[in-house]
A and B are shown apart, each in its own frame.
Chain A
Amino acid sequence: MIPIDNFLVLSAILFSLGMYGVLARRNAVLILMSVELMLQAVVINFVAFAVYLNPETFTGIIFAIFVIVIAAAEVGLALAIILRLFRNRQISNVDEADLMKW
């Protein structure tokens, strides 16, 4: 069988990739996609811990479902905000949205 370490390392790699994307990318949609990668890493961790260490109550699986729900809601709202930003100011790069920057 597969030891739990493999899943945790995979999740760490995915989270680091997402973190790099969030910090390095300029476009808001690409940042959102990197956030999705990070959420996926977290979900893998939740499910791995649930099925390996806590199969009696498997809270992690329930939490994973809620994370997916919140991620779906978040994508919808974030894309609406990005559309709004583009329509009002014709930009979609986050470093150009500096109206409130001192």
Chain B
Amino acid sequence: MTYEEAIFYVIAAVTVAGGLGVVTARNVVHSALFLILSLIGVAAVFVLLASEFLAIVQVLVYGGAVTILILFAMMLTRVRDIAGPMDGPQRPIAALAAAVFLGTTVLAVKETEWRGNTEEATVVSIDQIGDVLFTTWAMPFEIASLVLMVALIGSIVLARGEEGE
């Protein structure tokens, strides 16, 4: 095992542990904190995949914005005061479905012969990403900004409440 693989296994263990915490924690705030751990782990995986730009975006957007939003929503909906079990009665079926999916996917990954270089990641520089993002992918980029604006306005309209409420 090379040292890179050792680092990968440590990061993967942290990420999976975070994910397990998200779906099994009994306290919802702990769940959100585990989600942060898992998202930071995914950012580290991006570094291992030689995509520093995505790692930075991941930490900014997920570590910074999404988890804060989720914690805010938890505070406002008083999730902690809700009585009753956290999981529904369908839990065994959910576990079975997830296990079947995991087994099938891992089997498919192991059985497939990937064409091309599967042993080493190629570094894609930020320059290259910026180049194609504003040339080849300029139209999707503009549409993405439009989607963000619509989502922003929609969230405000939905969360604000009606007049005189």
Contact = CB atoms under 8 A, between A and B. Distances in A.
Interface string A32-43: 111011001001
A80 B66 CA distance: 13
Interface in B17-60: 19-20, 22-23, 28, 31-32, 35, 38-39, 42, 45-46, 48-51, 53-54, 57-58
Which of B38, B93, B115 has the largest number of chain A CB atoms within 10 A? B38
A40 B54 CA distance: 12
A17 B95 contact: no
B99 A16 contact: yes
A17 B98 contact: yes
B120 interface: yes
A6 B12 contact: yes
Contacts of B110: 5
Contacts, number: 250
Contact of B94 (A10, A23, A86): A23
B49 A48 contact: yes
Nearest to A10: B12
Interface of A: 1-10, 12-27, 29-30, 32-34, 36-37, 40, 43-44, 47-48, 50-55, 57-58, 61-62, 64-66, 68-77, 79-84, 86-87, 92-93, 95
Given A29-B77, A65-B57, A17 B16 contact: yes
Contacts of A33: 22, 31-32, 35, 70
A19 B82 contact: no
Given A48-B49, A51-B50, A72-B61, A84 B23 contact: no
B158 interface: yes
A10 B16 contact: yes
A99 B122 CA distance: 52
A76 B152 contact: yes
Contacts of A51: 49-51, 121-124
Contact of A30 (B28, B49, B106, B147): B28
